[in-house]
Chain A
């Protein structure tokens, strides 16, 4: 019996801007199972990042409940690993200092934290950069460090908000393959936001699609692919069918 790493139960949320109220979620329910890779796609401004802000605890739902590893925490801050869209490395900290940030905040001793970071740097194939500053690294490298920092939060649940959208196609592909390796090795549950249908198909077990605003229910799509995958697998007829279906739904959603 697999357990749910993440569960939304009838969650509603609106932004209030002065007098105006913008409803984003209306009694939305979904779950992500332990060890599952789930992508969220949807038009710009539909509320994808808002879902992450609710999970991390930066925002509170107006109604409904959010469970992380089957627990309804009163304060969710610090309970999941969150990787924002920009790499958001601190320019004044070296790579090792940046990556150690979540450990430092958890109160770990500096030396112990650095040892742990070094171990992971080697594992991620990133050794030799620990004393560089972020401005000295390429975009792909920075995203890797940012991911490493997210992993070091220690949570089994990671939220990745369009992590690869600023990378070129080749770097992006190698990052996707790299991410899948790390995901399998570390047995993580990942919720992944993207604009790119191919990316979602290549990476995910399931895809959630925003088709309405405010959203009551995601359209859910299972990706008909085994693991391990290769990039050319997304050109098999079964996948292409799913892709066409997805694009159709997205188009409908954005013309509403």
Chain B
């Protein structure tokens, strides 16, 4: 009952949003500019083969590769900055200033470097998701309790013990927060990358439909992109629930 209630409000909101969109789009009646939601759904159905078998896998490949690299490099850098003050001083300012670079402006350079291969899009995804993962993991590693650290020391704990038995478990919830932000950004990163130059992918397909003034065709891959983002987010939530069982009882 309670569960149902918590879904009720957002459901009503989204439902009324789509109803108004449908009504407004029908009044305007220019489907190449603003298609109705029903037209978009019909379009997804029409194009289901090419969308699901060609463009969705291409985009997923970029997202998964970009996220995986981002996690490996981001967590690695966070651990390094945690272990070495010098590394922290060297990288932290660079990390923060890297976020002030408009990534869309940078993306053409990646095309220059990596051509139209998957790597130019992976680079955009990596750049956009790297920051939340690194910073949240680093903050998590840093936030472990001083009292617990002292207690472990009095038990004769080594640096390694403190890292694995205290710092890592403390950082885990922070890492998940960063990852939730990162997975939603990864979808944006992949789409931007594909706009700039690609032969396949949902972002590329959406842009191609734009040049053909096919309004519903522009929206159809976007529906899929957003579904990918939501699914990835939910996957992280599930992972979090499984690995952080103790949080439920708080």
Residues on A with beta carbons closer than 8 Å to the beta carbon of B161: 105
Is the C-beta of A56 less than 8 angstroms from some C-beta in chain B? yes
Could you mark each residue 55-94 of chain A with 1 if its beta carbon is under 8 Å from any beta carbon of chain B, else 0?
A: 0111000000000000000000111101010101011111
Q: Is the CB of B156 within 8 A of A91?
A: no
**A102 to B244 CA separation, bound complex (whole angstroms):** 23
Residues on A with beta carbons closer than 8 Å to the beta carbon of B165: 90, 101, 104-105
Is the C-beta of A106 less than 8 angstroms from some C-beta in chain B? yes
Chain A interface SS verdict (over half)? loop
Is the C-beta of B115 less than 8 angstroms from some C-beta in chain A? no
Q: Is the CB of B250 within 8 A of A88?
A: no
**A44 to B56 CA separation, bound complex (whole angstroms):** 66
Q: Which of B82-90, B147-155, B204-212 is found at the contact surface with chain A?
A: B147-155
The listed residue with most A CB atoms (<10 A of its CB), out of B150, B155, B169, is B155
The listed residue with most A CB atoms (<10 A of its CB), out of B152, B154, B172, B246, is B154
Cβ 8 A contact of B244, one of A80, A92, A106, A153: A92
Q: Is the CB of B151 within 8 A of A88?
A: yes
Is the C-beta of B5 less than 8 angstroms from some C-beta in chain A? no
Q: Is the CB of B147 within 8 A of A86?
A: yes
Q: Is the CB of B155 within 8 A of A90?
A: no
Residues on B with beta carbons closer than 8 Å to the beta carbon of A104: 165
Q: Is the CB of A133 within 8 A of B246?
A: yes
- Cβ-closest chain A residue relative to B172: A92
- Cβ-closest chain A residue relative to B158: A105
Is the C-beta of A230 less than 8 angstroms from some C-beta in chain B? no
- Cβ-closest chain A residue relative to B162: A105
Q: Is the CB of A133 within 8 A of B249?
A: yes
Residues on A with beta carbons closer than 8 Å to the beta carbon of B152: 101, 105
Give the interface of A toward B (CB within 8 A).
53, 56-58, 77-80, 82, 84, 86, 88, 90-94, 101-102, 104-106, 132-133, 135-136, 153
Give the interface of B toward A (CB within 8 A).
145, 147-148, 150-158, 161, 165-166, 169, 172, 244-246, 249-250
- Could you give 16 example pairs across A and B, Cβ below 8 Å? A58-B153, A78-B157, A82-B154, A84-B151, A88-B151, A90-B165, A91-B246, A93-B169, A93-B246, A94-B246, A102-B155, A105-B152, A105-B157, A132-B249, A133-B246, A135-B246
8 nearest A-B residue pairs (beta carbon): A78-B156, A56-B154, A82-B154, A102-B155, A133-B246, A92-B169, A92-B246, A105-B155
